[in-house]
Structure 1
C-alpha cells in the first residue's frame, strides 16, 4: 500500500512553509483563511494559459486515497461470497466428523450453537436477502452521498458492516443470520454506488479508468479472500470467524480514511466550498496550479443547470468553451431526480444505457458461477470443488489486473465489446460441455466465463455509468443502475437452480443470447469515454453540438 506523504517527503514547492494546505488545520481550521488570499490563477497578469492539473502524473497520495476507498469494495466482494464455501459447516452439525470441527468437538463456543440447520430453500433465501439489502442501500446512497459527501457516507456506512458482521458471527438462529445478511447487504448497496463516484472524482483524467477499476479490483480481492478463508475454515467454529471478518475490514478503513480528503469535485459543486475543493485537489495533485480543472467542473455544473434541455426540453445545445479562470463562487449543486432524468435530453439516453449495462452484468449469468460454483463443480469434480473455487477467484483477480492495465490504453469500448462477445462464446462452451458431459472442458469454460467477464463487463458497467453523466446526475444514475443490478441479481440467483433443473446446461445458452443482443446495443449507442470530458462524451452521443 502506498505510504502517506509527509511534509518532509514533499519537494520544496509543496513544503508546509510555502503551502498552507499542508499545515494542520489548513483545510478546515483557522489556517484556511490563508487560502482566501491565494489567487485563483497564477497567470492572470501574464495572460498565460492555465495548465491542466487533471493531466498530471498520479501522486502517491492519490493512490493511497483510492486504495482506502476500495476497501469498501473489498467488503462487497467478501460478503457476496462469504456463505459459499463454509455452507456445509454452517448448515450441518456433524460434530463426529473431524473435518467439520476445527481442533476437536469441544472447540466451538459453548454459548452458541455449533451450526444453524436449515433446508436448501432456506439457505437460498439467506443468500438472496443480501441482494434485497443491496437494493435498499443503492436507493439510499444518492441522498447519503450528496447530503453528507462521499467521505462521510463511507465512514457512516461502516457502522452497517460492523453491526451486520456481528449479527452473523454471533447468530443463534436463522433470523439473526438473516438480519446480519440484510444489514451488510444495505452497506454493500451504499458502497457500490458511492465508491465508483468517489474514485473517478479524485483521479487525474488519464488515470480515471484505472481508478474506476479499483472498485472491481476490490470486489475481486474480497471474493478471493472470502473463498480462501472459507476453504480453510469450513468447520466449527470456523464459519463464525468467516462471517465476522467484515468487522476487521471496517476498523481498518475507519482508521485509514482519517488521512483521506473529500472528493474535490463534489466540494466544487457545493455553494461556498471553493476553498475546501481547492485544498482537496491541491493535496491530490501535488500542486497549487489546479484552477483550470476546478473551472472545468464548475462550468459544466453551471451550464448544465442553465441548459433548457437539461430541465425537460431540447431547445438549445450546451456551450462548449471553458473559462480560463475559475469563478470564485461555485454553483450550488442539487441532485437531479428520476423524473428530470427521463425528461432531459442530456440524461435520458445515458440513464437507459446505464440501466442496460448494469442489468446485463447480472443477466450474463456471472453470479451463477460465484454463488453456485461449489454446487456446479461438485457435480463435475466431486471432492475438489473447494480448491477449484479458490483457483477460479485467483484467475478472476489476474484477469481484473489485466483489465486495469488496459482500460486507459485500449479504451472502454474495445474492452467492453470484446468481453461481451468472448463471454457469450465461453457460456456456449460451458453449456455444451455440461449437456454432453466433458468435465475438463466444463472447467475450462468456467475459467473462460470468469476471465472474459473480469476484463470488461464486470468493471466497465460501473465505470461507464459514472462517466456518461456529469456530477449532478452521477449519484442518481449510479443508484438507479445499481438498483437494476440488484434486482437482476436477485432474479437470476432465485431462478437459476429452477432453470438449471429444467434446462440443464442449456440455461447458459440463454445467458449467451442475452449478452449478444446487449452487445449490439452497446456497439451502436455507447461511445468511447477514455480521457474525455463530460461535454465531449455528450457530443459523441449526439446530445449536444
Structure 2
C-alpha cells in the first residue's frame, strides 16, 4: 500500500516536468511539411483493416433480399445474422487491448484478419443459417480487434502535426468499404460480394511483415533499439528523431513506475477525465442512431415513401466526400470545432427525418415528406461523416497513457460495440412503435452530444500524445 502511494506521488510530481519538457522542445522533424513515403504506405496498410470494418458493416443491407431468398430465411433469422456481427465485435473488443499489448499492434492486425478471412469464406459457402451465423460472428470478432488496433497504431506512428488527419483516414476507409459494399451488393450476388471481402484482408495480412511496429509499443516492452529504428524508418532516414525518441522514452520510463492498470484500476481518480471523455463519446456516437440508420437504410427510405436505390446511392455520394473533407480539416480546425459542427448537423438531420414521419402520421404534406426524410438522412450522414464518425476514435487513441491503453482501449471499444448492438437490435422495434419518435430520440441524443463536447472534450490538435495524456491525468488528479 505504501509503495502504491509513493508511486502515485512520483507519477503526479513527474507530470508537470513532462509537460514542461514537451512544451519546450525545439522544432522537430515531425513538424516538417513533407510526409515520408514510408509513413504513408504504413498507414495505408493499417487502414486496410478499416476498409474490412466498413465492408462488414455495409454487407447486410444490400444482401438481405438475396440471402433470404436463396437460403429461405425468415426475417427473424436474418435479423440474427445482421446483429450477430456486433456480438462478435464485442468479444473482439474485450480482448483487443490485451492482444495488442501482448503481441504488438502489427501482429494483432494480422490475427484479426485471419478471423475475417475465415468468416467471409464461411458466409460465401453457407448452405444454411448456422454457417451464416458462424461466419458473421468471426468477421465481427476480427473487426472488433481492428476497430481498436488500427486507430491506436496510426496515432502511435504519426507525428503530432499529422496525427489527426492520418487517424481520420481510419473512418474514411470504413466509409469507402461500406459504400463500395453497398454498390457491389446492389449489383452482384451476395456470395461473390463476401468472397471479394477477403481481398483486403489478404492484402493486409501479406503486407504486414513489411511495416514497422509502433515505436511507442516497442519502447514500452523494452525494445529500445528497435523503437528508435522504427521511428527513424517512419520519419525518414535524414530526419532528426532524437527529441521525439527521448520524449517517448522519458514518458514511458515514468509510466513504468506504475503497474499495468487492470479494468478495475481504470476507475481511479487520475484516469477519471480520460475515461469519461472516451466512454462518453462512444455512447453518444452510437445512441445518436448511426448503426440503426446504416444497417436499415433501405427500410427507412421505403417507410418514408422514397426510392431505396436512389436513397442508397445518395448516401454514398454524400458520405465519401464529407468524410474526406473531415480528414483535411482535422489538423486545421481541430477536434472540438469539427465535433460541435458534426453534432449540430446530426441533431438537425434526425429532427428533419422525425418531422417527415410526423407529417406522414398526420397525413399532411404527403408529396414533401419523403423528400424531407431523404434530406434529413443525408444531412445526418454527411454531418456524422465529417466528425462524429472519426473523432471519437481519434480521441480514444490519444488520451490514454500507454500503461492503461490496453485495458482502457478494450473497455471503450467494448462500450462502443455494446451500444451499437443495442441500437441495431432495438431499431426495428422502435420504428414499429413510432418512426417519428425514434428520430426525435436520436435528435435529442445528438443535442446532448453538443453539450458534452462543449463542456468536457479537450482540444488535442498539435500536441504530442505524451502532452495530452500528462495534462489530462494531471487535471484528473488535481480535481
Whole-angstrom CA distance in 1 between matches of 2:180 and 2:289: 22
Partner of 1:542: 475
Whole-angstrom CA distance in 2 between matches of 1:289 and 1:341: 36
Partner of 1:86: 63
- The match for 1:343 among 268, 275, 279 is 268
Partner of 2:294: 370
Which runs of 5 or more residues in structure 2 are unaligned? 1-24, 361-368
Tell me the C-alpha RMSD between the 2 structures: 1.7
Mapping of 1:308-387 within 5 angstroms? 335-345=260-270, 347-381=271-305, 384-387=307-310
Residue 477 to residue 393, structure 1, CA distance change in 2 (3 Å): farther
Shift of 1:518: 3.2
Greater mean alpha carbon deviation, residues 131-140 or residues 286-295:
286-295
Residue 372 to residue 495, structure 1, CA distance change in 2 (3 Å): same
Whole-angstrom CA distance in 2 between matches of 1:134 and 1:68: 21
- The match for 2:240 among 289, 301, 305 is 289
- The match for 1:401 among 324, 330, 352 is 324
Partner of 2:121: 166
Partner of 1:410: 333
Q: Secondary structure at the match of 1:436?
A: helix
Residue 65 to residue 303, structure 1, CA distance change in 2 (3 Å): same
Q: Secondary structure at the match of 1:58?
A: coil
Q: Secondary structure at the match of 1:337?
A: coil
Q: Secondary structure at the match of 2:72?
A: coil
Whole-angstrom CA distance in 2 between matches of 1:78 and 1:176: 19
Whole-angstrom CA distance in 2 between matches of 1:221 and 1:372: 18
Whole-angstrom CA distance in 2 between matches of 1:534 and 1:150: 17
More helix by share: 2
- Post-superposition CA distance 1:483-519 (Å, at most 9, x none): 1111111111111111111122221111111222232
- The match for 1:210 among 165, 171, 189 is 165
Mapping of 1:168-247 within 5 angstroms? 168-233=123-188, 238-247=189-198
Partner of 2:376: 445
Over alpha carbons, which structure has the higher Rg? 1
Greater mean alpha carbon deviation, residues 253-262 or residues 289-298:
253-262
**Within the alignment, does 1:53 sit opposite 2:29 as a pair?**
yes
Q: Normalising to structure 1: TM-score of the pair?
A: 0.78
Greater mean alpha carbon deviation, residues 197-206 or residues 281-290:
281-290
Partner of 1:474: 405
Are the aligned partners of 2:287 and 2:442 in contact in 1 as well (CA < 8 Å)? yes
Are the aligned partners of 2:343 and 2:446 in contact in 1 as well (CA < 8 Å)? yes
Partner of 1:267: 218
Partner of 1:483: 414
Are the aligned partners of 1:335 and 1:475 in contact in 2 as well (CA < 8 Å)? no
**Within the alignment, does 1:514 sit opposite 2:464 as a pair?**
no
- Post-superposition CA distance 1:211-265 (Å, at most 9, x none): 11011011101101110100111xxxx1111122221111111222232111112
Whole-angstrom CA distance in 2 between matches of 1:476 and 1:516: 30
Partner of 1:435: 358
Partner of 1:27: none
Whole-angstrom CA distance in 2 between matches of 1:385 and 1:199: 36
Are the aligned partners of 2:219 and 2:252 in contact in 1 as well (CA < 8 Å)? no
Greater mean alpha carbon deviation, residues 210-219 or residues 516-525:
516-525
- Post-superposition CA distance 1:152-183 (Å, at most 9, x none): 11112211011101100000100000000000
Mapping of 1:82-121 within 5 angstroms? 82-92=59-69, 115-121=70-76
Shift of 1:410: 0.5
Whole-angstrom CA distance in 2 between matches of 1:288 and 1:431: 54
Are the aligned partners of 1:194 and 1:475 in contact in 2 as well (CA < 8 Å)? no
**Within the alignment, does 1:128 sit opposite 2:112 as a pair?**
no
Shift of 1:381: 4.4
Are the aligned partners of 2:58 and 2:294 in contact in 1 as well (CA < 8 Å)? yes
Are the aligned partners of 1:265 and 1:297 in contact in 2 as well (CA < 8 Å)? yes
Whole-angstrom CA distance in 1 between matches of 2:400 and 2:31: 20
Shift of 1:467: 1.2
Whole-angstrom CA distance in 2 between matches of 1:144 and 1:246: 24
Shift of 1:391: 2.6
Shift of 1:343: 1.6
Whole-angstrom CA distance in 1 between matches of 2:327 and 2:91: 29
Are the aligned partners of 1:160 and 1:186 in contact in 2 as well (CA < 8 Å)? yes
Shift of 1:387: 4.1
Residue 259 to residue 353, structure 1, CA distance change in 2 (3 Å): same
Whole-angstrom CA distance in 1 between matches of 2:390 and 2:444: 21
Are the aligned partners of 1:82 and 1:227 in contact in 2 as well (CA < 8 Å)? yes
Q: Secondary structure at the match of 1:514?
A: helix
Which runs of 5 or more residues in structure 1 are unaligned? 1-48, 93-114, 312-333
- The match for 1:140 among 66, 77, 95 is 95
Whole-angstrom CA distance in 1 between matches of 2:407 and 2:278: 11
Q: Normalising to structure 2: TM-score of the pair?
A: 0.89
Shift of 1:117: 1.3
Are the aligned partners of 2:248 and 2:466 in contact in 1 as well (CA < 8 Å)? no
Are the aligned partners of 2:272 and 2:476 in contact in 1 as well (CA < 8 Å)? no
Shift of 1:284: 0.7
Q: Secondary structure at the match of 1:470?
A: coil
Whole-angstrom CA distance in 1 between matches of 2:471 and 2:226: 31
Whole-angstrom CA distance in 2 between matches of 1:142 and 1:86: 32
Are the aligned partners of 2:160 and 2:465 in contact in 1 as well (CA < 8 Å)? no
Shift of 1:275: 1.1
Partner of 2:365: none
Whole-angstrom CA distance in 2 between matches of 1:178 and 1:416: 36
Shift of 1:394: 2.8
Q: Secondary structure at the match of 1:172?
A: coil
